[in-house]
Structure 1
Amino acid sequence: MITTANAPLSLEPEAEDHVALDEDYVLTPAFVEKVVDAADDGDGARLTALLEDLHPADVADLMGFLTEQHRGVVVIWLPPELLAETLPELDDGIREEVLERVPHLILAEALQELDSDDAAAVVEDLEDDQREKVLAAMPDEDRAAIESSLGYAEDTAGRLMQREVMAAPQFWNVGDTIDHIRKQGEDLPELFFDIYIVDPANKPIGGVPVSGLLRAPRSVALTDIMEPVNAIAVDQDQEEVAYIFEKYHLISAPVVDVAGRLVGQITVDDIVNIIQEENREDILRLAGVQDEDRGSTIPEIVRSRVPWLTINLATATLGASVIGWFEGTIQQIVALAVLMPIVSAIGGNAGTQALTVTVRALATRELNSSNAPRTFWRELVVGLSNGLLLAPLIGLATAFWFRDEDWRIGLVIAGAMVLNLLVAASVGVLTPLTLSKLKFDPAVSSAVFVTATTDFFGFLIFLGLATMVLL
């Protein structure tokens, strides 16, 4: 059932004062509470009535709001078809937990409802013994398709593609193709946008959009209306595939093996998931954490965060060592201890801004060696401009604040602000560029280096200027 913002989905047979989704397409607390109550009572009929008309994405969202105990009850009462469509939508941690509770025969039946790419993604999360039981319970054709997909390396086009594809020989015309499609019925891919034209060696030589096929007269040859296709190599990285789809505005693309033969297709719905996944990973890595979801346990979260916090502890110690070099200056001018965090904090924030923009440009391939110098100088000018704008503000405020001690402190912090923002702009661009050149992921390592550098030079510049000017 499809819902709209003006008419949210109601799942109750009787009129009630709430619905499953609010106007923002978010599950309402009242609905979640009703599911929890039904699970506590073991009321399977009630759970079925509540869940049967929910979209699989909303069922997956619901699972994230439930406890492990309640999820174990709810999953038992999901119809096989709904269970099948829900599994690919679940967060990884929750999906692994749910799969442990589903009997292998029911799971084997559910997976037959999925395209080969989604079925392979689910089977991949199974424990070895459970995987063997599930695959053994599936028809030979479905089992072979899943095993073939799992044979490709993770995060490649081969793992991402669905093997179900609509292809036509190059000697067919429009009428032949339409008649074939109508005869195939249930054997057709569940979702396809293009018919790929193949030569006798099963190599794609072009494609015809379904819309173009329906517009053309029956007697027109497919080769007369076909368009060039962007064939994807089966071992191509999924991030590169997403870039090709985004750059060329593709809806679908054929996947070919090392010999150039058609072996599957990738559709835009898979690419949307990849783009979101890559963006989420980059954002989390910039913060020094790994991918976490609602199903992550406390030990898993701690293990993912502690290493980077340890590195940050080491870099913070490096910054603190600079302060030790100027211990005598700080003892004579205590006001410096109050102002030091301002310089380092502004520098850190400015460095993060430049870093985020640069990492994003690298990820989208908008930044390379040809325009890197221009990008660097642009960020440097931005850093200088920001420094010249902020320095008078902090300088005047500091001079007024410490006017009874030494108004020149305002000049010191203003100068330090400008210089540290230049440092922040430089390292914010150069660090990810250098790491990318060295074949390291800039999203993973850059933030630590940028923070350490801006802290180190922020303290060094500020305290160094204070020593020269005030003492």
Structure 2
Amino acid sequence: MGETDPDSHPLGDAATAAFDAPAPEASHDEDDRLTPGFVDAVIERVEAGDVEGARALVDPLHPADIADLFELAPSTARRALAEAMADRLDGEVLAEMNDWVRDELIGELNANQVAELAGQLDTDDAVAIIADMEEDDQRAVLRALDPDDRAAIEEALSYPEESAGRLMQRELIAVPEHWTVGQIIQYLRDNPDLATDFWEIFVVDHAHHPIGTCKLSWVLRTPRDIAISDVMQREQTLIPVDMDQEEVALRFQKYALISAAVVDPAGRLVGVITVDDIVHIIQEEASEDILRMSGAGDGDINEPVVDSYKSRVRWLLANLLTALVASSVIALFEGTIARMVALATLMPIVAGVGGNAGTQTMAVAVRAIATNQLTQSNTLRTIVREIRVALLNGATVAAVIGVGVTIVFHNPTLGMVIAAAMMTNIFIAGLAGVLLPVTLDRFGADPAVASSVFVTMTTDSMGFLAFLGLATLSGLTG
């Protein structure tokens, strides 16, 4: 055997280079999120002019991950990233992208480019992109679209925002009721322009009214000579085109739907909504209610600072006004507080615990309204239930705070006063927490938007009034 160079690698120079090269950064962590190191690596390659290297990292990613990449990248780097990934920045990626980031990128494209991207998407996704554009830009994009796409998108834009008409897809499979299974299979094979992703076939009458549905599995397992009307399911959930998307989501959840037909006021089939769209709606509506209750606006970390400021400051000003109401109650008992400083120490406890109790009840009521659990038929029963919960909570907390104050301040009267005030405020908090959302909902207002402000004002004001009023009446400061 020949001598081996001690400095050489037994597998050769190529292997040496492979062993010496740094290991590639993992793209995903254990929670299937893009890692900071991977995002930084892509951006560094783009900024260094190594477009091919950046593309090599991005190419294996799913469109949803590419959308995440743009969202995680600093806003200053997104334009260069978009230019480098132009061939991957297609309609699928835009459909998965955060609205604010997508609008930022769309703003860099001309009307023809936006029209090309919109043409790659299902109608509902294309509408979501075009609907957020300025009116002049919107018209320019519509003019650049194919006539069929333009007509479908213009029709969708004519429906109210967050309605089934905006959410539905026009691409569906509808067949006449007199066809056989064999005719349907042949029709699907002979028409390459039909929808490619669908779970069921809609059966319509001569006026294009949906009269039944047939799952693909039934079509595949049924003899070809059987009429579709003999195997279709006649019971189906029809979605009115003007139905609010939140109500649509509730129907999908209640009836465990995969897809559902959308009908116009005349009952004609005009579109279909699928469960993948509903998943996004459920997430959006749940997040929207939580953010509205806190007055945080859209609550999106990609939202411009000025927009976040505008949406949040008005609620802070509203809270300021409600706080002034509570402070005016305190001012009525200024003399009482001056004679016993311990009252000033304890009264925030009464208001704070009452506020938390009201928030708990309000959250339960708002959720029940949003999910249709709380309706006119069970409103009274729900109010009674929340009053019972409030009484139990109030009695427990009142007993604890009463005993604690008695021991700490060596004053049984003060302990009884704060216990009675706590019991009163938690009862009022429970009552306000359920009555205010129900009342707002009855008058057509969104209970998630305004309830928190009024509940906070009620619990603060009544907490101070109950505690300081009882202290005055008891002669505690006399």
**TM-score by shorter chain over 0.5:** yes
> Which residue matches 2:335?
328
Question: Does residue 1:189 correspond to 2:190, yes or no?
Answer: no
TM-score by length of 1: 0.93
- Tell me how far apart the structure 2 counterparts of residues 147 and 208 of structure 1 sit (CA, whole Å): 30
> Where do residues 21-170 of structure 1 align in structure 2 (5 Å cutoff)?
21-80=28-87, 82-170=89-177
Match 1:306 to one of 313, 318, 321: 313
Secondary structure, counterpart of 1:195 in structure 2: strand
Match 1:223 to one of 229, 239, 263: 229
Bigger radius of gyration among the two: 2
Question: Does residue 1:282 correspond to 2:289, yes or no?
Answer: yes
**What does the per-residue CA deviation read over 1:208-256, in whole Å, with 9 as the maximum and x for residues that have no partner?**
0112212222222110111122222222222222222121111111112
Match 1:430 to one of 435, 441, 458: 435
**What does the per-residue CA deviation read over 1:176-231, in whole Å, with 9 as the maximum and x for residues that have no partner?**
1112112223x222321110001111111100011221222222211011112222
Secondary structure, counterpart of 2:191 in structure 1: helix
| Bigger Cα displacement from structure 2, 230-239 vs 218-227 | 230-239
In structure 2, give the amino acid aligned to 1:229.
Q
> Which residue matches 1:206?
212
Structure 1 runs not aligned, ≥5 long: 1-13
- The alignment-based identity, stated in percent, is 48
- Tell me how far apart the structure 2 counterparts of residues 108 and 373 of structure 1 sit (CA, whole Å): 53
- Tell me how far apart the structure 1 counterparts of residues 87 and 230 of structure 2 sit (CA, whole Å): 44
Match 1:234 to one of 234, 241, 248: 241
In structure 1, give the amino acid aligned to 2:259.
S
> Which residue matches 1:4?
none
Verify the 8 A CA contact 1:347 1:424 in the aligned structure 2: yes
Secondary structure, counterpart of 2:169 in structure 1: coil
| Bigger Cα displacement from structure 2, 346-355 vs 370-379 | 370-379
- Tell me how far apart the structure 2 counterparts of residues 53 and 107 of structure 1 sit (CA, whole Å): 25
In structure 2, give the amino acid aligned to 1:53.
P
Q: CA deviation at 1:355?
A: 0.3
**What does the per-residue CA deviation read over 1:423-463, in whole Å, with 9 as the maximum and x for residues that have no partner?**
00000011011111111111111111100000000000011
Q: CA deviation at 1:33?
A: 0.8
Question: Does residue 1:343 correspond to 2:350, yes or no?
Answer: yes
- Tell me how far apart the structure 2 counterparts of residues 32 and 22 of structure 1 sit (CA, whole Å): 12
> Which residue matches 2:472?
467
Structure 2 runs not aligned, ≥5 long: 1-20
Secondary structure, counterpart of 1:192 in structure 2: coil
- Tell me how far apart the structure 2 counterparts of residues 389 and 49 of structure 1 sit (CA, whole Å): 63
Verify the 8 A CA contact 1:52 1:82 in the aligned structure 2: no
> Which residue matches 2:253?
246
Distance verdict in 2 for CA 1:46–1:136, change over 3 Å:
farther
Secondary structure, counterpart of 1:196 in structure 2: strand
- Tell me how far apart the structure 1 counterparts of residues 134 and 451 of structure 2 sit (CA, whole Å): 36
Q: CA deviation at 1:264?
A: 1.2
Q: CA deviation at 1:269?
A: 1.0
**What does the per-residue CA deviation read over 1:70-118, in whole Å, with 9 as the maximum and x for residues that have no partner?**
1111122335565211112222211111101234433332222211111
- Tell me how far apart the structure 2 counterparts of residues 389 and 455 of structure 1 sit (CA, whole Å): 20
Verify the 8 A CA contact 2:82 2:89 in the aligned structure 1: no
| Bigger Cα displacement from structure 2, 75-84 vs 351-360 | 75-84
Aligned length: 455
Secondary structure, counterpart of 1:348 in structure 2: helix
Q: CA deviation at 1:15?
A: 7.7
In structure 2, give the amino acid aligned to 1:215.
R
In structure 1, give the amino acid aligned to 2:438.
L
Secondary structure, counterpart of 2:90 in structure 1: helix
Match 2:417 to one of 412, 415, 429: 412
In structure 1, give the amino acid aligned to 2:422.
M
> Which residue matches 1:268?
275
**What does the per-residue CA deviation read over 1:338-385, in whole Å, with 9 as the maximum and x for residues that have no partner?**
111110000000000000000110111111122111111111111111
Q: CA deviation at 1:279?
A: 1.0
Secondary structure, counterpart of 1:255 in structure 2: strand
Q: CA deviation at 1:407?
A: 3.5
Secondary structure, counterpart of 1:49 in structure 2: helix
Q: CA deviation at 1:17?
A: 5.0
- Tell me how far apart the structure 1 counterparts of residues 191 and 85 of structure 2 sit (CA, whole Å): 30
